[in-house]
Amino acid sequence: MEFGVCIPNKIDETGIAPYAENLGYTHAWVTDTQMIYSEVWSTLALVAQQTRTMKVGTGVAVAPLRLPPVTANAIATVNRLAPGRTFLGIGTGNTAMRLMGQSPMKIAEYAEYLRVVRALLDGRRVDYTLRGHTAPIELLMREFDFYALEPRIPMYVSGFGPRAMELAGELGDGLVFSIPRVPTVEDALRHVREGARRAGRSPEGFLTCVLTPVVVLERGEALNSERVVREYGPAIMASVHYAYDKWMRSGGEPPDFMRPIWQRYCALMEEVPREVRHIRLHDSHYTYMRPDEAPLVTPELVRAVAIVGEPDALVERMRDLDAQGLGQLMFLPSVTNQYRLVEDFSRKVMARL
């Protein structure tokens, strides 16, 4: 099993990528949330030039923000800087779109988007529809090396529901999902195989990658210690933000593990005018701990959302995930603890595997 780090995208602080590379991480995933972070392609270009062996890509690019040919050209341009080390992570925009008060891309539109991008990256001519008009398109003048389609750029599809996971098997080279939202690797692979079967593809060489909070505890440390809440709370609370946004749009019940804090969190949000609630909801996304949310980071919530434990327990958890067939685990640290978490996990867990 490999390990990757999802980089909090700040264009003048990209040193975390070569730092992680030297500690044994194999992939750097650069975040793409335009209302929070730096612009992804600019940062990714810097990361590509600052690393030597590490694979670099988007973690994940937001499909609704850019036309498919723009995304294809952008990642192929990075492939000129890091040939053979470049990958495209792509998703529907769960956070990036919700921060604008919009919904993520629908599955049918997502499927079409992935089809066009994959064809362009494979150097093929493909029919593309824009503003009601369909015409064939292709990336031209490849002999002038404005961008690079070779070595081939893998496309890793972000998917948390069954249909999106099937799309990964149908059109992608890998799946990015989340544990424990998806209970096991096999649960995800079942959907991947169905998509691959429908497309007549083999899942051989397919990457499964989990994006999940990872909490490295000190000996005897409580799950809600001041340090855990400060350093890991932003990643833990992101799941609550997502659940509330989904509930606010469509109703229904929160996940069972959130019930003990749900009414308290709803009460916080009731203080915010509804028309700007989507801004307040995600304004600390994976980056810092809001003081008013800190009391909600309970041991039960941490245990339910994150892979958490002292080093011995984490080593065993990694071995279990490896036995399940997981290809890669990656995490997005907060700005406050990115160097500490990357080093702690490498020295205390990765080095023992």
Residue 342 or residue 252, greater confidence: 342
Query: Are 224 and 298 within 8 A, CB to CB?
Result: yes
Is 89 in a helix, a strand, or coil?
A: strand
- The 10s digit of each residue's pLDDT in 32-84 is 999 999 999 999 999 999 999 999 999 999 999 999 999 999 999 999 999 99
Query: Are 290 and 284 within 8 A, CB to CB?
Result: yes
pLDDT for 338 equals 93
- The 10s digit of each residue's pLDDT in 114-135 is 999 999 999 999 999 999 999 9
pLDDT for 249 equals 81
Separation CA 145–CA 257 (nearest Å):
52
133-137 and 207-211 as β-strands: parallel, antiparallel, unpaired?
unpaired
Pull the structure tokens for residue 74. 């952008």
- The 10s digit of each residue's pLDDT in 262-281 is 999 999 999 999 999 999 99
Separation CA 154–CA 87 (nearest Å):
5
Q: Tell me the residue type at 113.
A: Y
Examine the pLDDT at 236 and tell me if it is beyond 90. Answer: yes
pLDDT for 203 equals 85
pLDDT band at 144 (very low <50, low <70, confident <90, very high): very high
Domain boundaries, the chain: 2-217+307-352, 226-302
Put simply, whether the predicted model's pTM sits higher than 0.75 gets the answer: yes
Query: Are 259 and 240 within 8 A, CB to CB?
Result: no
Pull the structure tokens for residue 273. 């005018």
307-309 and 328-331 as β-strands: parallel, antiparallel, unpaired?
unpaired
pLDDT for 182 equals 86
Q: Which helix (H) or strand (E) holds 185?
A: helix 185-199
Separation CA 109–CA 132 (nearest Å):
14
Give the pLDDT mean for 245-274: 91
Question: What burial letters (b/e) apply to 283-313, b meaning 16+ CB within 10 Å?
Answer: ebbbbebeeebeebbbeebbbbbbbbbebee
Residue 203 burial (10 A CB sphere; 0-12, 13-18, 19+) = middle
Separation CA 98–CA 279 (nearest Å):
8
Q: Please give the C-alpha separations between residue 200 and each of 15, 113, 149, 152, 305, in angstroms, as whole numbers.
A: 42, 20, 24, 20, 35
pLDDT for 183 equals 85
Length of the chain: 353
Select 2-217+307-352's CATH number: 3.40.50.20, 3.20.20.30, 1.10.540.10, 2.40.480.10.
3.20.20.30
- The 10s digit of each residue's pLDDT in 83-115 is 999 999 999 999 999 999 999 999 999 999 999
- The 10s digit of each residue's pLDDT in 158-193 is 999 999 999 999 999 999 999 877 889 999 999 999
Examine the pLDDT at 223 and tell me if it is beyond 90. Answer: yes
Examine the pLDDT at 302 and tell me if it is beyond 90. Answer: yes
86-91 and 55-58 as β-strands: parallel, antiparallel, unpaired?
parallel
Residue 67 or residue 246, greater confidence: 67
E-assigned strands of 184-242?
207-211, 214-216
Contacts of 189 by beta carbon, 8 Å cutoff, 6+ apart: 203, 208, 325
86-91 and 155-158 as β-strands: parallel, antiparallel, unpaired?
parallel
Examine the pLDDT at 336 and tell me if it is beyond 90. Answer: no
